[in-house]
Amino acid sequence: MTPAARLSAAIEVLDEVLAGTAADRALAAWGRSRRFAGAKDRAAIADLVYDALRCRRTLARLGGGETGRGLIVGLSGGQEALFHGAAHGPAPLTGAERAARLAPAGGTLPERLDFPDWMEAPLTRALGAELEPVMEALRHRAPLDLRVNLARATPEAACAALAEDGVRATPLPAEPAALRVAEGARALRRAAAYLDGRVEIQDLSSQRVARFAGALPGQTVLDYCAGGGGKTLALGMHMQGRGRLIAHDIAPARMKDLMPRATRAGLSVETIAPEGPGGGRGPALGCDLVLADAPCSGTGAWRRNPDAKWRLTQADLTALTRLQDRVLDAAARHVRPGGVLVFATCSLLVEENDDRVAAFLQRNREFAGGDTLRLTPLDGGDGFFAARLARRPAPPAG
């Protein structure tokens, strides 16, 4: 496909997204009906779509309207020559579109920093003076980070192996196992170190949360919201393969790749049947550590999933906080006396973080609050929150 044809494709996909289809679905549907498009075309179109969504309000202003075409006109800045109307390219720019690109910048903070108006209050509550730099960071692409499986390789050896396959990565000082890919991201999935489990794709902040959880060799550890299992595997690495590592998710299909990935990483992981939205009724598992990486607004990861920032409503946020309360209570049941519950979200919002911890401690008097970890994209990875909640030891017998 020509660069101009890719722009036309992105316009089409964005129109679907603006009409309400999730971006990943709209891209997949476009790809299914255009078998002629190669992997590079699809990746380039996806980049255009996500770049446009990250800066949706700014681009709508620069492109003369909140339509697929408006966003792509805004995004393509100086590349006016691509709007030639021939060979599947988009139609030439109109006078109004040319004028829009020259209009002076300005507007409210949410307009300038590309987030919905109603989010200004909760984000200000959460971020205070960091609101502007954090929202600015969320307007840009996320880096690609890897976790070295320290049981199988040192960071230096992993970097050397990746380099042989065309992936240049460098260690990140903030986390002993973390690497950041500087070049060759598209070659990663064919690199030997990735295929044999020496490295996993995992954001720096997710790795920091897994370390913060504090799993130790020999413990019984439950990852209650395991999802794809990224943190399960990181917990297993900290356990050095010793102890009992259990994964649970209400939607077990999400864990489908966990077993092959665990095998590749040299770890053994048990999965348990889903407990349902109200938690389990069977015997509690008596774990030393339970991680509840709860469903959330994903505000800390908006640069990876910019679609989410335009979809989230106040009603969704309220529903998520109720779900987080239920997940915390259900997960807490499996913590042994003297054990630890770690609550984590990739949200920046106080409503989903500190407020949930405070409400949990009110409901569950046998737990006490402890350390917290708060990360924003200014720390280098996604925004994340984690809190350690210690269950009081059982009173001495007699």
Ligand X SMILES: C[S@@+](CC[C@H](N)C(=O)[O-])C[C@H]1O[C@@H](n2cnc3c(N)ncnc32)[C@H](O)[C@@H]1O
**Minimum distance, C-beta of residue 265 to ligand X, in the bound complex (Å):** 14
- By beta-carbon proximity to ligand X, the closer residue of 174 and 250 is 250
Show contacts with ligand X in window 35-64 (CB under 6 A).
none
Residue 249, annotated ligand binder? yes
Residue 293, annotated ligand binder? yes
224 near ligand X, rule: CB under 6 A: yes
Q: Which of 31, 65, 143, 228 binds ligand X (CB under 6 A)?
A: 228
**Minimum distance, C-beta of residue 234 to ligand X, in the bound complex (Å):** 8
Where are the extended beta strands (E) located within the chain?
A: 145-148, 168-171, 178-183, 199-201, 220-223, 244-247, 270-271, 287-293, 335-345, 367-375, 384-391
Beta bridge partners of residue 293, listed in sequence order: 344
- By beta-carbon proximity to ligand X, the closer residue of 40 and 322 is 322
- By beta-carbon proximity to ligand X, the closer residue of 141 and 326 is 326
353 near ligand X, rule: CB under 6 A: no
> CA–CA distance from 119 to each of 114, 215, 374, 394 (Å)?
11, 35, 19, 43
Cα(269)–Cα(229) distance, integer angstroms: 10
31 near ligand X, rule: CB under 6 A: no
Q: Tokens 């130790």 label which residue?
A: 216
230 near ligand X, rule: CB under 6 A: yes
Interface with ligand X by CB under 6 A: which range of 175-183, 221-229, 354-362, 387-395?
A: 221-229
Sheet holding 145-148, edge to edge: 168-171, 178-183, 145-148, 199-201
Query: ∠ CA(23), CA(125), CA(318), 5° rounding?
Result: 55
**Minimum distance, C-beta of residue 11 to ligand X, in the bound complex (Å):** 32
What is the pattern of x (binds ligand X, CB under 6 A) and - over residues 250-269?
xx--x---------------
Catalytic residue among 55, 159, 225, 346: 346
Are 70 and 34 spatial neighbours (Cβ–Cβ below 8 Å)? Answer: no
**Minimum distance, C-beta of residue 138 to ligand X, in the bound complex (Å):** 18
CB atoms within 10 A of CB 346: 27
> Catalytic residue at 296?
no
Pairing of strands 287-293, 220-223: parallel
Query: The dihedral of CA 114, 115, 118, 121: what is its sign?
Result: negative
Q: Tokens 């259900």 label which residue?
A: 330
Query: The dihedral of CA 79, 80, 81, 86: what is its sign?
Result: positive
What is the pattern of x (binds ligand X, CB under 6 A) and - over residues 322-351?
----xx--x---------------------
Known binding-site positions: 249, 293
Known binding-site positions for S-adenosyl-L-methionine: 249, 293
* Active site amino acids: 346
Site residues for ligand X per CB under 6 A: 206, 224-228, 230-231, 249-251, 254, 277, 293, 295, 326-327, 330
